[in-house]
C-alpha cells in the first residue's frame, strides 16, 4: 500500500438572532502528526476575523487556536482546511504484546518516559465514568496473561456486536453508565465505553478525535461516521506505542482514518468550544466535514 493524501475541510457556522458583542472560541482543528500521518498544510479561516487570535499547544500536545471576536456580529464561520498524508500503519501482531495485567502493574509506577507520558490515560476522566457494573463486560476477555492488544481487539468486537449504533439517543454529555445500561449510542459513546473498560483495568487508553474518508474507495462500503467528526480509541503498549481501535466499525484504523487530536476523552479535544455574549433569539449551528482523497500528482517526466 502506498501513502494517501487527503484534503480535509471542516466548516462550522453559527448564526444568531441578535448581535453577538463578544465571542470567544477555542478550537482544536489542526490535525496532528503521528507515526504514520503527516500534516502538510493547515489553515483556519474566521469570518468575521478575530480581534485576538493565538495558537498554542495544550497539555496533550494538540494545537489549539484561541480566537476572540469583539466586534458585534450575527454570523460566525469557522473553516478549517488541511492537507494530510497518511501512510499505511504497520500491522502489529496482537498476540505478541505484553500480558495485560503486567502492563497494568507497570503503569502503577512507570519507570520509562514513554510510560510516564501514557500514565495519565489510565484513569477516569470528565467524560469517562467507570461504574462498578462495567466488570462483566471485561472480565471474561481479560483473563490472566492474555496479550493486552489481543484482548483489546476482542473488546472492540464485543462492543461492536453488543451495542446498537443509533443517533439521537445520546448527546455529548451522556455518561458511560447510561450507554452501558441502554446498549446504544454513537461513535463517541462507544469510544468512551471502551476507554472506561480499559481504564477500569488500569490500562493506558486515550480518546482519538478525527475523521473518516467521506467517499470510500471503489468497491469498499461507506463507513459509519463519515461526513462528520469521528472518534475512536488508542491503546499504549511498551512494545508498539499507541495502537488504534475503532469500536464503531469493529476494526483497526488504517488509511481511511485521519487523526485530528487526542486526549483523555471528548472534553479534552472538542473541536470547537465557544462562549458568546449577546446573540439572543434564534440560534443556528451547521457543521460540515469533507475528507477527499487528493489524486496523486503525475510524476514530472
Partner 1 sequence: LRDPLLIKDLSYNKGRAAPDPAAQRLMTQSIPSDPAQSALSQLLDSYRPPTGRFDELLDEQGQLRAHWRPLMESLNGLPIQARQQAIQYSQTMVLDHDVTYQPQGVDSASRPWQFDLLPFVMANDEYNELSDGLSQRTQLLNAIVADCLGPQELLAQGLLPPAIVFGNNTFLPACHGTKPPGGKYLYLSGFDIARAPNGRWWVVRNRMSTPAGLGYALEARMLSSKCLPEVFEQSEVARVAQFFRTFSNSLVGLSGNDEPLNLILTAQHDGRDYFDHSFLGRYLGHSVVTGADLTVRDSRVFLKTTRGLQPVDMLVRRIDTGNCDPLEMSVDSLDGVPGLMQAVRAGRVAMANWPGAEIANDPSLNSFLPRLCEHLLGEELKLPSVASWWCGQPKEREFVLDNLDRLAIRRLDTINRIARDRSNQSNQVVGSQLDAPARDQLIQLIRQFPDEFVAQEPMQVSVAPSWNDQGQFVAAETTLRLYVTASQSEQNYYLMPGGLARAETHDPQSAESMRLPNAMNKDIWVNRLDDVASAAPTMIGPAVILRSDRNLASRTADNMFWLGAYLERAENAARLLRSLIQQTSGEAAYGQQVAALDRLAAVLVAQGQLSSRRARRLLAKGRQSFAFEIASIVFNQESADSLHQIVGNIERTADLVRERLSPDMWRLLERLAQPARVPKHALPDPVATLRHLNSQIDTMAAINGMISLNMTRADGWRFLSSGRSLERLQQSARLFNELTSRPADIEQGSLNLLLEVSDCAITYRTRYGAAPQFVPVADLILADDSNPRSLLSQVMQVRGHFNQMPHPNQTGIDREADKAMLRLESALRLLDPEQLDARNKQTGSRTYVSRLCRQAQSDKNIIIDRLTAVFFNHAGASRVSGQFGQPR
Residue 257, strand partner residues: 212
Write down the residue that cell numbers 472534553 correspond to: 267
212, 230 in Cβ contact below 8 A? yes
Shortest distance in whole angstroms from residue 68 CB to partner 1? 7
Shortest distance in whole angstroms from residue 154 CB to partner 1? 21
CA gap 97, 3 in Å, rounded: 27
Shortest distance in whole angstroms from residue 164 CB to partner 1? 13
CA gap 100, 102 in Å, rounded: 5
Residue 111: phi and psi, rounded to 5, are: -100, -25
User: Looking at beta carbons only, is 147 or 253 nearer to partner 1?
Assistant: 253
Q: What b/e string do you get for 243-252 counting C-beta neighbours within 10 Å, with b at 16 or more? A: bbbbbbbbbb
User: Looking at beta carbons only, is 97 or 125 nearer to partner 1?
Assistant: 125
Shortest distance in whole angstroms from residue 221 CB to partner 1? 17
Shortest distance in whole angstroms from residue 263 CB to partner 1? 8
Shortest distance in whole angstroms from residue 35 CB to partner 1? 22
| List of residues 6+ apart from 69 with CB closer than 8 A | 20, 22, 23, 24, 25, 46, 48, 49, 50, 51, 76
What element of type H or E holds 192? helix 187-200
- DSSP code at position 143: -
User: Looking at beta carbons only, is 125 or 234 nearer to partner 1?
Assistant: 125
User: Looking at beta carbons only, is 94 or 262 nearer to partner 1?
Assistant: 262
User: Looking at beta carbons only, is 94 or 270 nearer to partner 1?
Assistant: 270
User: Looking at beta carbons only, is 109 or 299 nearer to partner 1?
Assistant: 109
Amino acid at each position: 500500500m502506498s501513502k494517501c493524501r487527503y484534503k480535509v475541510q471542516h466548516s462550522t457556522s453559527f448564526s444568531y438572532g441578535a448581535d453577538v458583542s463578544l465571542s470567544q472560541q477555542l478550537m482544536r482543528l489542526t490535525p496532528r502528526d503521528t507515526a504514520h500521518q503527516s500534516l502538510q498544510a493547515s489553515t483556519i479561516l474566521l469570518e468575521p476575523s478575530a480581534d485576538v487570535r493565538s495558537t498554542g499547544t495544550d497539555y496533550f500536545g494538540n494545537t489549539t487556536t484561541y480566537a476572540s471576536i469583539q466586534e458585534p456580529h450575527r454570523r460566525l464561520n469557522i473553516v478549517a482546511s488541511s492537507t494530510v498524508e497518511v501512510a499505511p500503519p504497520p500491522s502489529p501482531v496482537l498476540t505478541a504484546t505484553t500480558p495485560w495485567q503486567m502492563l497494568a502493574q507497570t503503569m502503577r509506577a512507570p519507570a520509562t518516559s514513554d510510560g510516564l507520558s501514557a500514565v495519565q490515560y489510565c484513569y477516569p476522566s470528565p467524560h469517562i465514568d467507570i461504574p462498578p457494573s462495567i466488570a462483566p463486560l471485561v472480565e471474561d476477555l481479560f483473563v490472566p496473561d492474555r496479550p493486552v492488544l489481543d484482548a483489546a481487539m476482542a473488546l472492540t468486537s464485543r462492543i461492536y456486536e453488543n451495542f446498537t449504533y443509533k443517533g439521537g439517543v445520546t448527546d455529548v454529555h451522556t455518561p458511560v453508565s447510561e450507554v452501558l445500561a441502554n446498549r446504544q449510542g454513537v461513535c463517541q459513546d462507544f469510544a468512551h465505553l471502551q476507554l472506561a473498560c480499559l481504564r477500569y483495568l488500569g490500562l493506558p487508553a486515550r480518546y482519538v478525535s478525527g475523521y473518516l474518508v467521506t467517499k470510500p474507495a471503489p468497491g469498499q462500503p461507506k463507513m459509519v461516521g463519515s461526513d462528520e467528526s469521528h472518534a475512536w480509541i488508542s491503546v499504549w503498549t511498551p512494545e508498539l506505542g499507541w495502537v488504534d481501535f475503532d469500536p464503531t466499525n469493529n476494526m483497526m484504523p488504517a488509511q481511511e482514518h485521519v487523526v485530528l487530536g487526542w486526549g483523555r476523552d471528548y472534553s479534552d479535544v472538542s473541536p470547537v468550544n465557544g462562549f458568546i455574549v449577546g446573540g439572543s433569539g434564534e440560534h443556528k449551528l451547521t457543521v460540515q466535514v469533507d475528507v477527499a482523497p487528493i489524486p496523486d500528482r503525475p510524476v514530472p517526466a
